[in-house]
Structures are given as structure tokens and as C-alpha cells.
Structure 1
Amino acid sequence: MSGCILRRSTVAGFLLLGGLFLVWEVIARGRWSSGQLPSISEVAGRLLNSDARNLLVGELLATARLSLFGFTVGGLAGIALGLAHGLYPAVRQTTGMFVEGLRPLPTVALIPLGLLFLGMDESLNVAITAFACCWPAFVGTRDAVRGVSPILLETARGLGLKPGRIARHVILPAIVPEILTGLRIGLGIALAVEVSLEMVVSTRGIGALAMTAAFSGRTADLYAAIVLVGLLGFMFNKGFIMLQRMAVRRYGLSAGGRA
């Protein structure tokens, strides 16, 4: 039954996408088109052209690399900080005000500071992307650790379980689902921030290519870049879901939410 529903939803999704593409093509070829919207066939032609495709894919891979690098750094930092705040009240009381002051800070506000210390280098993109996607991992980890039932911990200790087994069989199943949810949110943020940074301060990446195409009037290249960013985000999400399911099967955890 669930498989049938899944197939129907997949077919419905493809039909909706096809319908949107059809409307796009009709509008682009209609007399009311302003010329700022290329047809689907033009965009597809750019993606199928070997020279344009190599350029677009090369810039997209640069974006993917920096996004994943920043996500990894920020995710690990967020998990470490979340564990410290969740496990040690003294750390939470000492640094809580400072952390809560940093958390709502817009990432764009860090660009001038990053330029001052790091210059227009890839390290700037990685640092700001890491800052942006650190916080979902931090919040998920902190709340998950603080949400572990003290009764479960006391029961485990009463049964004579050693700290390692308590961590493996009690704490880990309780916190990993929320950590994975925070990381999944952070991955989407990492891609969005990286593309935005490329549009503002970089000369490489799909964001920089999109801005160059927009300023030079190459609308087909611009829309091709947008389509590729959407596909990259889709692949990031699906790839993370696969890793999440592998973790669930490997460690016998709760999925912590559906795709």
C-alpha cells in the first residue's frame, strides 16, 4: 500500500514538474515575453553544449566542494559546542550569553570582517559557510542531550552498565536523530550561503557565473546555472537521507523524521 502511494506521489511530482516546464516554454515563446525568460529548449541547449556544460559543471563542482567543506567544519563545531552545552551546565552558564548573541547574527554581516582577516580567498567562503550551518547542529545536539531522561541514565547505572555502554545504548539512540536533523538543515544552509557568497565576493563558483551571465545578458546561462543549483541541492538532500538511513540501520536508531 505504501509503495503504491509512493509511486503515485512520484508520478504526480514529475507531472507537476513537466507542467511547470510546459508553462515556462509557452510563456517564453509567447508574444508577451520580455526576452528576459529564455525557453526551456534554450536552457537545455546550453546544458547540452559541451563547452558550456563543462564550464557550468566545473563551477558547480567548485561550489559543491566549498559547500561540503564549510558544512563539515560547521557541523563538527556545532556538535562539539552542543555537547559541551548539553553535558556541562558550567559551560552553558559561562558561554550561553555569548553564543546566543552570535547565533542570530546575519552571515552577510561577517563578510567585511572576513575580507579584512582572510581576503577574497576560499577560506572566507568556508569560514562564513561554517558559521552559518554551525547553529542548526548546535541547537539539535544541545537540546537532544538535555532531553535525555535522567531516569534512563539512573536506571542504566543501576543495572551496572559502564559509561561506554551507557553512551552506546542510552545516550546515542536518544541524541543522534536530532543531531542528524540539525545537520540536514545545515547542509541546505551551507549551499545557500556558499552560492550567495560567490555572487558577492568570489570569481569562482556557480554563483559567480550566474552573476556574470546576468550582467552580460546571457539569460540562458543564468537559468542553466539556477537549474544546476537546484539539482545540486536535491542531490545533497537525497544523499544525506541515504546516509541517515544507513546510520539508522547500522546503529538501530530512530529515523528522527521522514524525508
Structure 2
Amino acid sequence: MAGFLLLGGLSLVWEVIALGRWSSGQLPSIIEVAGRLLNSDARNLLAGELLATARLSLLGFTVGGLAGIALGLIHGLYPAVRQATGMFVEGLRPLPSVALIPLGLLFLGMDESLNVAITAFACCWPAFVGTRDAVRGVSPILLETAHGLGLKPGRIARHVILPAIVPEILTGLRIGLGIALAVEVSLEMVVSTRGIGALAMTAAFSGRTADLYAAIALVGLLGFTFNKGFVLLQRMAVRRYGLPVGGRA
């Protein structure tokens, strides 16, 4: 209820500013923005561009998340590999994803593969760090107990290591999902002609402020939906292993 009251209060402030003399035409009425969302032609256009953004964001997130988990498992399980490649990986990790746009254009061109590749690069690192630290943080007592009970490596991985690392892997993936959406929208504003980011830039340059704010609102709604959906999946997965969210065995 508090959240809805805050939203209603902010909407009222928005409407007062838009109808007053302070906005200078840069802030349209919230009723006008809502009208664009309800207009059938505008709604179909916005929905199509939003679906394109969601598809590429999820595709990049999937590729990057899987790559991050795989790399994190390797670094967590094999110290020799971690020592040999650690400097290279730590050099790549802080690299801004937008800095790869010129390189991506050179090898991939202005294609959807460019968006997927750069988005995957950006969102793989939270999954990598979460997985690596989770594997390295597995209690040695658990592993020694499992070995003492005569469990085979496959059963140890399934019943000891996996339940211990699932919460932190999911936390890294949740962070990566938000990054994937942010990077995808940014890429659409810079190099794409499709997607809600490209639509927002076109609306800004053409002075269609209502369409611009409608696009921004839809990006926020998409991010909210992504987060809520992932939290639901996270709780289901953690409940499956009997661990608290973000907890460790």
C-alpha cells in the first residue's frame, strides 16, 4: 500500500509540474503519456519494440550467465587454472561493455549478434564472481564428511557442492539480469534501429516527448517484471535445496 501511495503522490507532483509553467514543454502531462500507452497504434508499436528488447536482453543474459557460471566453476574448482588465467580475467572484468562496441562492429556488424555478444559480456561477470566465490566457500567439513561416507564425486557434486553454491549463483544471475537489460537498452540507443531504446532516442530527437516518457515507463516496467520473475524462480530453486535466499550451507 505504501508503494502505491508513493507512486500516486509522485504522479500528482508530475501532473502539477506538467500543467504549470515550470516544464517548458519538456514534461508532458501524465494523462498524455497514458493516452499514448492506451492508443492502439502507439501501443502496438511500443509493444513490438519492447518485445524485441526483452528477447535480446534475455538471450544475452542466458549466454552470459551460462558462460559466467562455467568460468566460475573452473576457477573455483581448479586453483592452477585460476592462477594461470586470473590476471587476464581480472583485466577483462572491469572493462566497460560499451568500450567493446567498435570492436563488435568490426567483427559482427550492426546485427543482433552484436547486441547479444556485448550484453553477454556485461552480465557474465556477476555470475562468474558469485559462482567462483561460492565454490571456494564450500565448507571443507562438508566435503570431508561426504568423502568419509564414501560418496562418489558425482553424488558429492550433486548433493553437497550444488546445494551450497546455488543461492550465491542465483544472486549473481539476478544482478546480471538487470545489467543485461540496461546494456541492451543502451546499445539500442547507440547502434540499433530496433528496440525500445532506439524508439526512445527517435522520440527525443523528433520532439515527441509523450512517446519518450512512454518508452521509459515501459523499460521500467520490463525491468520490474524481469526482477519479479527471477525472484520467483530464485525462491523455487532455493526451496528445492532447503536453503535461505543468499545463504550458505
- Give the CA deviation at 1:100: 0.4
CA distance in 2, matches of 1:162, 1:91: 24
Unaligned 5+ segments in structure 1 are: 1-10
Partner in structure 2 of residue 32 of structure 1: 22
CA distance in 1, matches of 2:175, 2:248: 13
3-state SS in 1 of match to 2:65: helix
Partner deviation per Cα, 1:140-164 (whole Å, 9 max, x = no partner): 0000000011121011101112222
Per the normalisation by structure 1, the TM-score is: 0.94
Partner deviation per Cα, 1:8-52 (whole Å, 9 max, x = no partner): xxx001000110001000100012221000010000000000000
CA distance in 2, matches of 1:226, 1:109: 24
Over 3 Å counting, the alpha-carbon distance change for 1:257 and 1:222 in structure 2 is farther
Partner deviation per Cα, 1:168-227 (whole Å, 9 max, x = no partner): 221112101000000000000000000000000000000000000000000000000000
CA distance in 2, matches of 1:257, 1:164: 23
- Give the CA deviation at 1:249: 2.5
CA distance in 2, matches of 1:20, 1:252: 40
Per the normalisation by structure 2, the TM-score is: 0.97
Over 3 Å counting, the alpha-carbon distance change for 1:24 and 1:258 in structure 2 is farther
- Give the CA deviation at 1:133: 0.1
Partner in structure 2 of residue 257 of structure 1: 247
3-state SS in 2 of match to 1:258: coil
User: CA contact under 8 A between 2:166 and 2:238: conserved in structure 1?
Assistant: no
CA distance in 1, matches of 2:64, 2:93: 13
User: CA contact under 8 A between 1:173 and 1:254: conserved in structure 2?
Assistant: no
3-state SS in 1 of match to 2:32: helix
User: CA contact under 8 A between 1:178 and 1:256: conserved in structure 2?
Assistant: yes
CA distance in 1, matches of 2:247, 2:192: 36
- Give the CA deviation at 1:255: 1.6
Partner deviation per Cα, 1:210-257 (whole Å, 9 max, x = no partner): 000000000000000000000000000000001111112223233216
User: CA contact under 8 A between 1:248 and 1:254: conserved in structure 2?
Assistant: yes
User: CA contact under 8 A between 1:198 and 1:208: conserved in structure 2?
Assistant: yes
CA distance in 1, matches of 2:230, 2:121: 20
Unaligned 5+ segments in structure 2 are: none
User: CA contact under 8 A between 2:72 and 2:132: conserved in structure 1?
Assistant: yes
User: CA contact under 8 A between 2:64 and 2:120: conserved in structure 1?
Assistant: yes
Partner deviation per Cα, 1:42-65 (whole Å, 9 max, x = no partner): 000000000000000100000000
Over 3 Å counting, the alpha-carbon distance change for 1:258 and 1:194 in structure 2 is farther
- Give the CA deviation at 1:258: 14
User: CA contact under 8 A between 2:167 and 2:248: conserved in structure 1?
Assistant: no
User: CA contact under 8 A between 1:79 and 1:138: conserved in structure 2?
Assistant: yes
CA distance in 1, matches of 2:234, 2:193: 34
Instruction: Give the count of matched residue pairs.
Output: 249
- Give the CA deviation at 1:70: 0.1
3-state SS in 1 of match to 2:37: helix
3-state SS in 2 of match to 1:254: coil
3-state SS in 2 of match to 1:56: helix
Note if 1:230 corresponds to 2:217.
Answer: no
CA distance in 1, matches of 2:37, 2:234: 32
CA distance in 2, matches of 1:254, 1:167: 20
Partner deviation per Cα, 1:57-101 (whole Å, 9 max, x = no partner): 100000000000000000000000000000001110111110000
Q: Which runs of 4+ in 1 moved over 6 A?
A: none
User: CA contact under 8 A between 1:247 and 1:253: conserved in structure 2?
Assistant: no
Partner in structure 2 of residue 7 of structure 1: none
